[in-house]
Amino acid sequence: MRFISHLDLMRLFMRAMRRAGLPLKMTEGFSPHPKLSIKRALRLGIESDNEEASVWLREFIDPEEFRQRLQEELPTGIEIKDVKGNFD
């Protein structure tokens, strides 16, 4: 997985979240896409064991259910270690 670009990783997560049937909050505008942010973009060829991402949802989902549903749709080599909710 270290040879996947940041943009490809973003697309991978977007597809996996759609396949998992998560109630994603979408951006507004001409080309809406899920609201997803990965804290830092890794350069191509750099491997990491602990990256942080933020996902906005339309409705509440139990964090463990979110993790399980998303993990089922991700390829081997990408593991969701922890999910925390911000319920503002």
Tell me how far apart the alpha carbons of residues 22 and 76 are, in angstroms, rounded to a whole number.
20
Which amino acid appears at position 54 of this protein? Answer: S
Binned at pLDDT 50, 70 and 90, residue 80 comes out as very high
Q: Residue 13 in contact with residue 36, Cβ under 8 Å?
A: yes
Residue 88, in any domain of the structure: no
Which amino acid appears at position 66 of this protein? Answer: F
Residue 67, in any domain of the structure: yes
Cβ partners under 8 Å of residue 42, min gap 6: 6, 48, 51
Q: Which of 5, 36, 40, 1 is nearest to 18 (CA)?
A: 36
% of the chain at pLDDT higher than 70: 95
% of the chain at pLDDT higher than 90: 52
Q: Which domain holds residue 58?
A: 6-73
Residue 85, in any domain of the structure: no
Total domains in the fold of the chain? 1
